[in-house]
A and B are shown apart, each in its own frame.
Chain A
């Protein structure tokens, strides 16, 4: 594995009423997409904002290429915040040009417009873009300095499925250029698709870290069975199975698929709508961060 591009060491961020980040450490090698996952309030945005150099930590440090964050990092980092407002009354091209002017090195404005497929929107008032178009513009701004490291903080939150998939394609094309990407998200499908390595945060701490497939192997030796809740008879709830019920389905986690199926048939559970699937990152996420509703 190559030397880390970013190192986070014992990061702590305390506010008067809470500890948002509580001793977080990890490193990000160059050229990978690193996912920081966690439920709302887990501390991932605070961690990322400290990594971006816009929020000071209470303790700990972040190093970029072995040095504390400084002017070199600011020139090299591209950032897409969860929420960003731009200057009013500027066109898409002018917004990009404004940010291009803030960096010593970078891509031509037209090049960034092409990468993010904004050609037809270049002269449009930036305030009049749809959600997906707005995110593409913000990504263009994040790419304008041809960054070595790109921070994407929940970039597809609020987008419709089509816009989300378009955005993922863009990120994959950026990944293909061997750029380092730090992605925070609570869409597990997104993390599974884009991330080479993930860290799952909960209550300000990292509870698991590694490549998604490795984490799944480490945490799950089982398969998951899903049945419609309406078709699951009351008597079957007494079976010695590991059950989890949602509003519309019943999930059964098991090491012994055949034995479980036999038990369900014996309890006269209809299996017509049975779904058997391997566990995914979302299952791991729920396993590690808990399935109960947080206050």
Chain B
């Protein structure tokens, strides 16, 4: 088994490093610092940490005001609450004026587990991608999380970074270098391409290995930057492999699948299948049970790949 590391803990520790390097970095939270792990920064830099209480709308506005004054605020809560609870505040206080706020939301997707529907963010990517000017990143493991955070800190403009609750296996080695806006070829293949984000990247890689035994040569692309999307990589994958499966821990509507389908429809239509949560809310359960119930496992990806390959002309 590859090593499993918490993305949240990685986030918390990286914030401390960034805070040491740049005194303008400040951190906000909405009474979840022990879960988002911003507590590490709070202990190290108490005067640069603002707990806003259970008031996400206010937190977003304060972050915008800090950014308008030259600070680089990282604001964190659960993905279900930002963007969900404070969408208009993100829209008018951050996105429209393109302020330099970094929203880092944890507990994305249904792998939140037992807390159930109210805490499972399945719409956040659709919401945040709809906002002009936002850069949206969904890291696949701890190594990518560190680098995405560093790029966000160093790049001007509003960022949304979605990380998950459970520990995740590493899919990268230490020498990986994250390039903003670029897809990453995780595995070569000529019959079909799985484009995945977040925790589903590991499942996609597992599926590709299994498919090899069934005679299907499956390419795997990780798409850590959901917006702006790497159109060239999608078009290239479609042209070279002739079929696409998208895989994400999000509703089918408005997430990675929608974005990829739009690119393909415009530039290079090929058969496509979607691994995503269908038009429903999930329930309480263990993360693995939920991923299975809602069709987000390696096995589901394998079936989708087999189905899409059959549709190739």
The reply to whether chain A is a binding partner of chain B is no
Interface of A with B (CB < 8 Å)? none
